[in-house]
Chain A
Amino acid sequence: MTPLIAPADIPYLPRGVRLQRDRVRDITVLQAPERALRLDAVGEAILSELDGIRSMADISAALAARYDAPEAQISADMRDFLTGLIERRMVFVKGAP
């Protein structure tokens, strides 16, 4: 799978895509056109960080520090996870300012 995001790119949730608590099932879902995607803890941690300001590299560094995990691993996971969502048009990307 060719990645659709580079470390310096800024990922964000576009209009029409939002994180929402599913109070009935007690999980967090990503609400998007025609899809409500159940998120696991990792997915939720990543998507909660998207603020439209920080780059993927900034975010993976922050997550690596917070979870005391190897940054290379986190940034690879994040790249694959976000690429899947970019393919589905649930995450958009803008270049570094």
Chain B
Amino acid sequence: MKDRPAQPADIDGNPVTPGLPMAMLAEITHRCPLACPYCSNPMELVRAGAEISAEDWGRVFRQAADLGVLQVHISGGEPGARRDLAQIVAHARDAGLYVNLITSGIGITEDRLRELDDAGVDHVQLSLQGIRPDMADRISGHPGSWNKKMAFAEWVTRIGFPLTINAVVHRQNMERLPEMLELAEGLGARRIEVATVQFHGWADLNRDALMPTREQAVFARRIVDEGRLRLRGRMVIDYVPADHHAVYPKACMGGWGSTGLNVGPDGTVLPCHAAQSIPWMRFENVQDRSLSDIWHLSDSFNAFRGTAWMPEPCQSCERKSVDFGGCRCQAMALAGDARATDPVCSLSPLHASVVEAAEASAAGPTDSLVYRRMSRAD
């Protein structure tokens, strides 16, 4: 890792050619009033004191735009937990980026939302944990969250932001998918993203409570297909199905280190939001090095670029440049090896045992949830 090769190389030393990133996820804080049991933040949460400043974000955004990034997704945690959110947004717009604000809607008042409008937020994405107070408040671990969210959604519409509803589905709420579509439509959302929980990190602690059944996956598929026909031209439905029930894995972000990058609260740059689940991988920080150097030259970004690093059965599979061998973090979690074929792929030697385990989890041994928490008191 010390000698920097002149030519970027993957984990095996094969030469790779980095492209240009289109999108950046800026997780500006890990602080969050909610405690969703499937939170995509790492298990090791960054504390407020380690967060980089709004000025630092401004520099990162300018470097990102120079590198080819067109859109920034400002997320968290709850981005509203940062008092200087409007300033961060303004920096992103000044850099020429399209600003997508991803929020739980908790902790941003109507006045603040107007400030964010002035600062240049282009689009608001509101997360939905469930339908109605009983379910939404239980899953988010935050009493009152449902009512606050609904008020927030009204302000969003009043101000005129385009709205996407982001519904995370799992065994505890999948039956309510039709109501979620109805709600999004009623709120005037242009899009709804229906994403099945990805089982790494926090969600992995909750597999037995959240893993959907095969019947639920079939049901969700049907509701999505019917919804798309019915809502054509009125609302877009983007759907991330449960990959434990699929034949092939999901493509990893269009390929590792190919179109996107993720910058964390303390300035750590990751090829994907879950990359820190790969224990041996070292990540660099925007405080030490330019984003361009990190993108083009870092070991973490180059590790799984291209297809030469892939083991069998991927190496001789015709889908290797379609799904890139699936998710590296899932391979880490399920096979204990980040280089392995994603075990949810039906061609993986581990597939049968993965499906068996998923079905055992889906059989519902428990409904009790382990909530996301900071490891010690804040």
How distant is the Cα of A16 from the Cα of B20 in the complex, in angstroms? 24
Q: What CA separation (Å) do A15 and B159 show in the bound complex?
A: 11
Min CB distance B260 to A, Å, is 12
Which among A14, A20, A24, A88 has the greatest number of chain B C-beta atoms within 10 A?
A24
Which of B65, B122, B238 is the one whose CB lies under 8 Å from A31? B122
B3-22 vs A, Cβ < 8 Å mask (1 yes, 0 no): 00000000000000000101
- Closest chain B CB from A78 CB (angstroms): 16
CB-based contact B100/A15 at 8 Å: no
Contact-size category for A = 10 to 19
With A24-B66, A31-B70, A86-B233 as given contacts, are A36 and B162 in contact (CB-CB < 8 Å)?
A: no
User: Which one, B122, B123, B233, contacts A4 given CB within 8 A?
Assistant: B233
Secondary structure dominating the interface of A = loop
B376 at the interface (CB under 8 A from A): no
The answer to whether A33 and B67 touch across the interface, beta carbons within 8 angstroms, is no
Binary contact readout B182-210 vs A (1 if CB under 8 angstroms, 0 otherwise):
00000000110000000000000000000
Say how far B65's CB is from chain A's closest CB, in angstroms: 8
B164 neighbours in A (Cβ, 8 Å): 33-34
Complex CA distance for A34 and B72, rounded to whole angstroms: 9
Q: Is the CB of A36 within 8 A of B22?
A: yes
Q: Are B233 and A16 in contact (CB under 8 A)?
A: no
Q: Does B160 contact A (CB under 8 A)?
A: yes
Hey, which chain A residues are within 8 Å of B70, CB to CB? 20, 22, 29, 31, 36
> B67 near A24 (CB under 8 angstroms)?
yes
A33 engages B162 (CB within 8 Å): yes
Contact of B71 with A by CB under 8 A: yes
Within the complex, which residue of B161, B233, B235, B236 is in contact with A15, where a contact is CB–CB below 8 Å?
B161
Q: In the bound complex, how far is the Cα of B231 from the Cα of A86, in angstroms?
A: 12
Question: Which interface residue of A14, A17, A34 has the most chain B CB atoms within 10 A?
Answer: A34
Instruction: For the complex, give the distance between the alpha carbons of A97 and B292 in Å.
Output: 50
Q: Verify A25–B123 contact, CB threshold 8 A.
A: no
B161 with A36: CB separation less than 8 A:
no
B230 contacts A by Cβ under 8 Å: no
| Mask of A1-35 contacts with B, CB within 8 angstroms, 1/0 | 00010000000001111101010110001010110
Q: Is the CB of B191 within 8 A of A15?
A: no
A51 sits at the interface (CB 8 A): no
Q: Smallest distance from the beta carbon of B281 to chain A beta carbons, Å?
A: 27
Q: How far is the CA of A47 from the CA of B100 in the complex (A)?
A: 22
Instruction: Given A15-B161, A15-B162, A16-B122, check contact A33 B191 (CB 8 Å).
Output: yes
Residues from chain A with a CB closer than 8 A to the CB of B301 are: none
Within 8 A of A (CB), among B48-95: 65-68, 70-71
CB of B22 within 8 A of CB of A33, answer no
Q: Which residues of B contact A (CB under 8 A)?
A: 20, 22-23, 65-68, 70-71, 96, 98, 100, 122-123, 125, 160-162, 164, 190-191, 232-236, 238
Given A15-B162, A18-B98, A20-B96, 8 additional A-B pairs, CB 8 A: A14-B162, A17-B162, A24-B20, A24-B67, A29-B70, A34-B164, A36-B71, A89-B191
- A residues with CB within 8 A of B: 4, 14-18, 20, 22, 24-25, 29, 31, 33-34, 36, 86-89
Could you list 11 examples of A-B contacts with CB < 8 Å? A15-B160, A17-B162, A20-B98, A31-B71, A33-B122, A34-B71, A34-B100, A87-B233, A87-B236, A89-B233, A89-B235
